[in-house]
Amino acid sequence: MNRQIRKDLLGLEGMSAKEIGLILDTAVSFKEISERPVKKVPALRGKTVVNLFFEPSTRTRASFELAEKRLSADSVNISKAGSSVAKGESLRDTAENLEAMKIDVIVIRHGSAGAPHFLASLLDASVVNAGDGAHEHPTQGLLDIFTLREKLEDLKGRKITIIGDIAHSRVARSNIFGLVTLGARVTVCGPPTMIPPRINDLGVEVETNLRRAVEDADALNVLRIQLERQKVSLFPSLAEYANVYGINRERLAWLKPSCLIMHPGPMNRGVEISQDVADGDRAVILEQVTNGVAVRMAVLYLLCEGAQKEKAVEVDEMEEEKADSRTF
Ligand code: CP
C-alpha cells in the first residue's frame, strides 16, 4: 500500500496479493506491541486521525482508536449523534472542516456504500473505509485473512466457507475479494434469497445446502443475520434460519476436526451460531478481534508512511526545480 499505488484504503477489490501481503506482514510485527506492558511506540507521533462513525460499532471503532493510541497518533472521535451532521450539515462540509484542521487520516463508517470513496476524492487526507453500507469492510476482511494465515499458513487451495446473508454483507464481499486474490477456494452458503445474483462472477462457489458447503472446509466464517439491512423478510423466522443454517454442536460433526469457526461479530447467539460453538475450542472469534488492532495499526502506519514519502519526493522535486532555476 505504497503511496505511489494508493492514498486510501477503500476496499480489497482490486488490491493485489503483494499489497495484501505487505499489510499482513506489517501487522505481524505490530501484533507484539499489544503484548507489551507499555503498549505504545512513537511510529505516528505528530499524526492526527479522525474516527468518523455514522453507524454503531464496538469492535471496529475501539480497535481503530487503540491502534492509533498504540502508534502515538492523536485521535478524535466523532459520531453522528454528537456532531453537526445531526443539525443537517452535509458529509462534504463535515469532511472539509475536519481537513481544514490539518488532519492526516479519516476513518469512516457510513450506512451508504461509496461514502468513503466520495471523501477520498475530495480530501488530501488518507481515507480508511471502516464499513460502507453493504459494500466493503476492508479492515475486517484483512483481519479475517490475517487470522486464517496465522492458523493455516498458505491460503492457496484452502476451502473457506462463508455462511449467511451474503447479499447484505460488506464483510463477505471484502473476504471474497481478498481470499480469491490469495488463491483460496471460497464457497458462499445461505438461503437463495440471501445470495446475490452473479456472485459466481467474483470467483466463488455457491452452495445452498449447509452440509455440502461445510464438509471439507478449512474454516467457516459465520455471518450475522443483518435484520437492519433487509428491506423485506428473506426467511420465515429467526428460528427457521437457525434450524436450516445455524452452526450448532450437532453440525460440528459435519466438519473436519481442524476446521476453524470465525465470526466478525456482533453475534446473534442462538441464531447463526449457538452458544457452545461460539465459546468452543474451534472458535477463533476473539483472536480475530485481537488481530484487528494489529491489522489496523499496519494500515494506518503504511498510509502515513506513504504520505510522508510522497511529501519527501515533493520537497526533493521543489529543491531540484529551485536548483534548475538557479542554473538557468
Ligand atoms: N465486525 C464489526 O464491524 O463489528 P462492529 O460493528 O462492532 O464494529
253-268 burial, b for 16+ CB within 10 Å, e for fewer?
ebbeeebbbbbbbebb
DSSP tag of 49: E
Ligand 1 atom closest to the Cα of residue 63 is: 8
Find the 218 Cα to ligand 1 centroid distance in Å.
24
Find the 117 Cα to ligand 1 centroid distance in Å.
20
What is the rounded distance in angstroms from the CA atom of residue 145 to the CA atom of residue 128?
18
Residue whose CA lies nearest to ligand 1 atom number 4: 59
Ligand 1 atom closest to the Cα of residue 137 is: 3
The whole model's pTM is what?
Answer: 0.93
Find the 61 Cα to ligand 1 centroid distance in Å.
8
Pocket residues for ligand 1 (CB within 6 Å)?
Answer: 57-61, 131, 137, 140, 264-266
Number of other residues whose CB lies within 10 A of the CB of residue 154: 10
What is the rounded distance in angstroms from the CA atom of residue 316 to the CA atom of residue 309?
10
**246 φ/ψ angles, rounded to the nearest 5 degrees:** -70, 145
| Mean pLDDT for back-to-back runs of 10 residues, the chain (328 residues) | 72 98 98 97 98 97 98 96 91 97 98 98 98 98 98 97 96 98 98 95 98 98 81 78 96 98 97 97 98 98 86 70 57
What is the rounded distance in angstroms from the CA atom of residue 307 to the CA atom of residue 208?
45
Find the 51 Cα to ligand 1 centroid distance in Å.
14
Strand ranges (E), the chain = 48-53, 74-79, 105-110, 126-132, 159-163, 185-189, 205-206, 219-222, 260-262
What confidence score (pLDDT) does residue 24 get?
A: 98
Ligand 1 atom closest to the Cα of residue 131 is: 3
Find the 265 Cα to ligand 1 centroid distance in Å.
6
Amino acid at the residue 67: A
Mutate to test the pocket of ligand 1, among 58, 224, 289 (most ligand atoms within 8 A of CB): 58
Starting at the edge strand found earlier in the chain, the sheet holding 105-110 runs 74-79, 48-53, 105-110, 126-132
Ligand 1 atom closest to the Cα of residue 61 is: 8
Amino acid at the residue 59: R
C-alpha cell at 24: 499482513
Find the 172 Cα to ligand 1 centroid distance in Å.
13
Mutate to test the pocket of ligand 1, among 52, 57, 143 (most ligand atoms within 8 A of CB): 57
Find the 323 Cα to ligand 1 centroid distance in Å.
52
Residue whose CA lies nearest to ligand 1 atom number 6: 57
